Structure 1
């Protein structure tokens, strides 16, 4: 796949230092300071693209520049540790490192306020109660009645719950990808994580058709909430609700079925 430089144009010179890095002709430590600068600048657009994708799943309070800064550190980490002899493309390896660094920064930021955490906890409890009593998902009206929250607070809490679960699933995905990249060096860990992937995949098949579609569109096709709502012809609030209840089911069922093994 052709990669664009910072100006958005394809680069194809035979002496491009990033090509030497990708094909294993040189390691990061072997390049001059000028070449390192050129390599970092060449891959910089990837950081912004990944940051924008992640930002679309997060509250407005999370600054894009914070994600980009964290991603830049992830890129430098990838450049310093990349080994072409492992047979992994740098494009794949660096993307994992960049996204992982962004997720680490989000966890460090702890962007849930105390008040928001309380709302999320109350909504989770209310959702479980309604599901236990009725066998179906909770409506906004039911959540308002059980929690005493306003419609605005319920929607804010559901969005926060959705964002929290997005982060958890994305983090899980990055860990899986990272372990897959270590097959040669850590065969036992790689096998263990593959078993987890297989278990989660089987649990997804137990979701309702609409829940599976939301998971597929959001994570497989990487559509945002608005785009997913348009495809499914439902409101963004309903998409968020389906997404939250799907991840809650996955987490609950996984714990009940496998964590005691």
Structure 2
């Protein structure tokens, strides 16, 4: 049997044998080899510049989930199956940071207002203990808010969620409703299986996993424009394969 060639293959082999990943330096290297390129693509797609190590750490959770759920009979490579879970874990982790920063931003605003009130009442600048007491927070939390005010490091994922090229957030209705009918589902899935691999993955990620074109580009390692081109070509192929019903089915999917 030929040895596994990709880091994902090596990790899958280890997981099948032991039920774990990352044991020993070789497997740790395989994790880094698998996650680092994805983390770099995600980092480039973000408005801020998160630490690469933070993205890799978050992606490791998505990788483990993918290994636990992967079934080779899906007809999808592990690298792609894991990719959308890894990217999702990275975005979720950064959203948590965004929420935390939002709380800090609110504390900054409240702290400034409290300090002004105390100064007006006492005729002198307020000290940190007075401001913290007025806000009902610890002096450590106040100090963190001050640090945030000096170095806010804003994180904006809204541009990704509202991508003007047609992501899940700018579609209306439920694209899965049309698949509730077993006949329609069978027709569509059979047609998807006949598409070239990159086109099949793009449609699966876009319509079934509800990812934006930016996120799909991160997974597949191509530009957002290229994802749009692949999706357009795939839809045309589906229309030709599904015949007269193809356009209605695709319209119902939300395109």
TM-score range, shorter chain: 0.3 to 0.5
Q: Which one has the largest radius of gyration?
A: 2
